[in-house]
């Protein structure tokens, strides 16, 4: 069996996913092309050496349609012989791309592969791909009261795990504080690549708000309550706000993955190896709880415990998600998103999986940690979990 290793991970800065955001003038194909070119340049490779490009993207319409992965490789001036495909596992799309890439290496189908993702939420707004599938007769028969959006699911999680408004706001403020400290210390620099925009180069994450406090967040109104939902869920204490949610974000990221044998042949030094993978489904109404069983499954497969892990990146789609995960797993809060998470660093849907991977890997290297876990809640009630080991 081949061993799959991570050679490099890069990402763009996170731009606010709205008109006027730092990256909003950049076409998503060009965002993705930038990270591909950076991987080749940083590692002395030619594009023709790449066996495949697997790219995550959620809203595959408009500027993100037509198999955006293929358009990204062409825009990056890759050899036309390099194939590419686009993956949608909702928020975990690029994490799933990493799984497929590494599993392809392990199986012997690939020697060198790039996995990544892109999302421009300013140019292709959230929901652009529609919700028509939920109107299928089979879905309405199975869930006659209807499924809900992720914000409502985040509320249901907060209710089930008894997470107070104060706890959610405090966690969100902590995410910004941790990310701001990490950015100030240059912790993200090894993975960041600048993006050329009409207004000049963008070097830094636009989504981090260093001055955020729990007190300032306390004044925000709940973001997802309406009269119909309040009637459907009587007694629900609505507490999720824009401040305890990840912001709409533009960004791209990518990982260079090889077989250990090919890395040795090329004289390339791997940074980490893959120790385990899991993907699970869960209740689509609660929707965002699947990281809990996904983590349990990947720990069982690797023979590790939560205490063996030096850091865990649990995507902060909403503050209630990592807080419920930590409560259920008995996780150490200090190891949970230690450089901040998506509440501060943004959640460019298709890109977030490899963004988390890069943050996790860079943190392990900076702190001397050995094992790291990343897991991501996904639309429809799914989650991926990955364990890596720093080399």
Catalytic residues: 91, 347, 377
Instruction: Show the tokens assigned to 233.
Output: 């869920």
Distances 34 to 169, 191, 322 between C-alpha atoms, Å: 35, 13, 31
The candidate with the shortest Cα–Cα distance to 255, out of 271, 267, 266, 268, is: 271
Distance CA 293, CA 297 (A): 6
Instruction: Show the tokens assigned to 235.
Output: 């007694």
Distance CA 92, CA 4 (A): 20
Helical (H) or strand (E) element with 367: helix 352-367
Judge contact between 175 and 344, C-beta under 8 A: yes
CB-based burial, 19-52: b 16+ in 10 Å, e otherwise: eebbbbbbebbbbbbbbbbbbbeebebebeebbb
Q: Which residues pair with 313 in a beta bridge?
A: 374
Backbone angles phi, psi at 185, to 5 degrees: -85, 0
Backbone angles phi, psi at 280, to 5 degrees: -140, 160
């Amino acid at each position: 069996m081949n061993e799959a290793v991570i050679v490099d991970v890069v990402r763009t800065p996170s731009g606010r996913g709205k008109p006027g955001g730092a990256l909003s003038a950049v076409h998503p194909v060009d965002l993705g092309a930038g990270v591909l070119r950076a991987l080749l340049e940083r590692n002395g490779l030619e594009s023709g050496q790449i066996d495949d490009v697997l790219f995550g993207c959620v809203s595959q319409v408009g500027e993100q349609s037509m198999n955006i992965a293929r358009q990204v490789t062409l825009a990056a001036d890759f050899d036309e012989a390099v194939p590419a495909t686009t993956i949608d596992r909702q928020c975990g799309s690029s994490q799933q791309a990493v799984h497929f890439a590494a599993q392809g290496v392990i199986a012997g189908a690939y020697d060198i592969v790039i996995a990544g993702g892109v999302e421009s939420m300013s140019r292709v707004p959230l929901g652009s791909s529609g919700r028509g599938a939920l109107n299928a007769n089979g879905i309405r028969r199975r869930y006659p009261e209807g499924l809900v959006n992720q914000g409502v699911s985040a509320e249901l999680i907060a209710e089930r795990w008894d997470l107070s408004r104060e706890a959610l706001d405090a966690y969100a403020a902590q995410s910004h504080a941790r990310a701001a400290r990490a950015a100030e210390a240059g912790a993200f620099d090894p993975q960041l690549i600048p993006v050329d925009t009409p207004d000049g180069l963008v070097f830094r994450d636009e989504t981090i708000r260093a001055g955020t406090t729990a007190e300032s967040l306390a004044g925000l109104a709940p973001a997802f309550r309406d009269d119909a939902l309040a009637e459907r869920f009587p007694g629900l204490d609505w507490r999720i706000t824009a401040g305890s949610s990840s912001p709409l974000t533009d960004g791209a990221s990518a990982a260079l993955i090889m077989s250990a044998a090919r890395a040795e042949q090329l004289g390339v030094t791997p940074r980490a190896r893959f120790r385990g993978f899991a993907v699970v489904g869960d209740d689509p109404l609660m929707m965002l709880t699947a990281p809990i069983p996904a983590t349990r499954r990947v720990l069982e497969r690797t023979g590790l415990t939560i205490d063996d892990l030096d850091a865990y990146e649990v995507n902060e789609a909403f503050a209630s998600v990592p807080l419920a995960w930590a409560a259920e797993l008995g996780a150490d809060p200090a190891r949970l998103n230690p450089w901040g998470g998506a509440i501060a660093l943004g959640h460019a849907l298709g890109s977030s999986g490899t963004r988390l991977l890069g943050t996790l890997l860079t943190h392990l290297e900076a702190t001397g940690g050995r094992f790291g876990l990343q897991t991501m809640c996904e639309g429809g009630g799914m989650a991926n979990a990955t364990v890596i080991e720093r080399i």
